[in-house]
Amino acid sequence: MAPKYQMVADSLRTDILDGVYQKRMLLPTEQLLCQQFQVSRQTVRQALALLVSEGLIERRQGSGSHIRDRSKPAPMPHRSIAVITTYISDYIFPSILREVENVLSDHNSAPLLFATQNQVSNERKVLNTLLDLTSLDGVLVEGTKTGLPNPNLDLYRRLIDRGVPLVFMNGNYPELTDSLSVLDDNATGGRMLVDYLHQKGHQRIAGIFKNDDIQGHQRYAGYAGALRTLGLPFEDQQVFWYSTEAKESLFLDGTGVKYLEQVLPGYTAVVCYNDEIASRLVAQLVKRGVSIPEDMAVVSFDNSQYSEMTTPRITSLSHGTHNVGRMAAELLMHLFEGVPCQSQVAPWTLVQKESS
């Protein structure tokens, strides 16, 4: 059976060519298409992206999917671009994908979106799907579990061998030495947060990091390096490592609760891997009567909605006007245009709030 998005695209294509939408020259909204085909919004978007890449429709922000007048030549080449991220609708991913879509839209393209849920088994399915596409011009991809050996490098290499340009976002695979990437400046970020806390008078600074993503390793490396440079205490037990699979029950049982109740009381500040974790940590600390920032300062990465919605709001590192999604999409466009390119890092600025 063909993938769902392809079945949706097939149906819409037939209708377009049969003149079903001739009157308004406009497709139904994404929401209506979801209802009509009983599929998710992601599937509808993939179907629409395919039709864009075929030159059948144009997507304009705010006014929907327009049927193209096929008597006129397409103003720019339509490119079929796959975008693979770990998540689509969670955390910072909507803002990354929005920027990717904007850049692609400016270049008359639209992304085919895929999410791996940070599972290498899903990543493998997505890569196999890409290898089966008749047309694929480029891939923007966030690596999956980049802190562990990746079992799918064979498929990435097949894409590379076919000459499909890849740009990695957020996390990459060092084994694919020639691939370009746009990454957070993770190690510098870790150092910045420790330096900031130290300037506020903190000496005993704990850390919580993700162990299966390269971002977690790099943020930890910056954190540990700064403690060393400043001569601050550093024992392994002050660092709590968690995995993708453990995230959901973090601080609710086992070693997480032990860390919260037996280790953290010996520290006055904690550097968190990201706002999502910081927000959960704050909730559990508040529940236990810990005053933030008086008893425990909490700082974090990403300056996302999570850091705004938590009480107290969380001091966090921001990319400001730099958006990894936009930077990566622009890098890919430059590759298409033959502009010489190199990998980039997105710098951080600290946004101080009430948690520190």
Q: Which residues bind a copy of itself (CB under 8 A)?
A: 119-121, 124, 145, 148-149, 151, 154, 211-212, 217-218, 220-221, 224-225, 228, 234-237, 241, 243-246, 249, 253-256
Nearer to a copy of itself, 178 or 248 (CB): 248
Q: How far is the CB of 118 from a copy of itself (least distance, A)?
A: 8
CB nearer to a copy of itself: give 65 or 172: 172
CB of 177 to a copy of itself, least distance (A): 14
Shortest spacing between CB 252 and a copy of itself, in angstroms: 9
d(CA 233, CA 227): 7
Which residue's CB is nearer to a copy of itself, number 51 or number 126? 126
End-to-end alpha-carbon separation of the chain, Å? 54
Structure tokens at 218: 């790099």
How many Å apart are CA 271 and CA 84, to the nearest integer? 28
Residue 53 or 186: which CB sits closer to a copy of itself?
Answer: 186
Residue 17 burial (10 A CB sphere; 0-12, 13-18, 19+): exposed
Of 59 and 191, CB closest to a copy of itself? 191
In terms of CB distance, is 128 or 343 closer to a copy of itself? Answer: 128
Strands 239-242 and 180-184: unpaired
**Element (DSSP H or E) covering residue 272:** strand 269-272
* Closest distance of CB 226 from a copy of itself, Å: 10
CB of 123 to a copy of itself, least distance (A): 9
How far are the Cα atoms of 102, 265, 266, 344 from residue 316, in angstroms, in the given order? 26, 22, 23, 21
Shortest Cβ distance from residue 116 to a copy of itself (Å)?
Answer: 10
In the bound state with a copy of itself, the residue whose beta carbon lies nearer, of 138 and 222, is 222
> Helix H segments across the chain?
4-17, 30-37, 41-53, 93-106, 120-132, 153-161, 186-199, 214-230, 254-258, 275-287, 305-309, 324-336
Query: Which is nearer to a copy of itself, 244 or 344 (by Cβ)?
Result: 244
For residue 219, the minimal CB distance to a copy of itself (Å) is 10
Q: Are 85 and 23 in contact (CB under 8 A)?
A: no
Cα 176 vs. chain centroid, distance in angstroms? Answer: 19
Nearest-approach distance from CB 299 to a copy of itself, in angstroms: 19
Alpha carbons 225 and 10: distance in angstroms, whole number: 55
Written as one string, the DSSP assignment of 157-211 is HHHHHTT--EEEES---TTSTT-EEEEE-HHHHHHHHHHHHHHTT---EEEEEES
Cα(12)–Cα(27) distance, integer angstroms: 9
